[in-house]
Chain A
Amino acid sequence: MSAGPRYTLYHPRWYRRRVSVWWWLQNRSYTGFVLRELTSVFVAFFAMVSLWQLRALAQGPETYGRFLARLGTPLFLALDTIAFLSVLFHAITWFNLTPKAIVLRVGGKRVPDWVIVGSNYAAWLVLSGAVAVVLLRG
């Protein structure tokens, strides 16, 4: 018995009970999980807005002015509000999960979870402050 079992990702011939596409609405923790996964859509959205901003900056003051005007429209204000809440949710869940992903040991002792989580929040505060200071100076 040298050969281990062979795993397949998907096997269409096996019997599987049909699960509704909305399976994640039946349980609060499933809903939280899917919402957390969907925050990535707004992460991508803001990365694209940043690309757009760079292109506008490269093209000159008039184009940049039009970019700013677009950001002030109700559509973009609404999208940015949802996106801001999403990335906030992403940040909080991400920071709180790190002790589960990283087990740090110092001198043979495991660093307590709250130290890892706390340093994440501290870094968040410092970096956010630094970005704000730079952007508000101009």
Chain B
Amino acid sequence: MGRITPLLWLLFSAGGTVAALLFPVHLFLTGLAFPLGWLEAPSYEFLHRLVTHPLIRLYLFVLISLPLFHWAHRFRYTLYDGLQLKHLTELIAVLCYGAAVLGTAMSVYLLWNLS
């Protein structure tokens, strides 16, 4: 565990930066402005064409995977400190990072197979 800690910190801060820079606008548009009709939502055809572009796929991979590792890292420490679960260190770490790895694998699978 000790040897990969610097890597986990790096993923945490990279993911935190991606989430800070890009999540507010995406969430506002996709989660609120489009469903509530404040702004006109892009069509299925347009979005489908967009996400099959290689650069957009790369963008979406970064957009989904790094913030998941940010969550894993932060949530892990929230559970330790907030709920005082220090004795479950390993189990929590495996569950949190495992979920982030799983989500990343799912994004790779989906983005790879999009056609």
Please state if B89 and A10 are interface contacts (CB–CB under 8 Å). yes
Verify if B7 is at the interface (C-beta below 8 Å from A).
no
A91 to B13, CA, bound (A): 12
Please state if B32 and A81 are interface contacts (CB–CB under 8 Å). yes
Contact with B along A17-31 (1 / 0, CB 8 A): 001010010000000
Please state if A77 and B36 are interface contacts (CB–CB under 8 Å). yes
> Nearest Cβ distance between residue B62 and chain A, in whole angstroms?
11
Contact with A along B98-115 (1 / 0, CB 8 A): 010001001100110110
With A44-B75, A136-B42 already in contact, the answer to whether A127 and B35 are too (CB < 8 A) is no
Which residues on the A side are within 8 Å of B24 (C-beta)?
Answer: 84, 87-88, 91, 124, 128
Contact with A along B32-44 (1 / 0, CB 8 A): 1011100111111
> Nearest Cβ distance between residue B23 and chain A, in whole angstroms?
4
Verify if A1 is at the interface (C-beta below 8 Å from B).
no
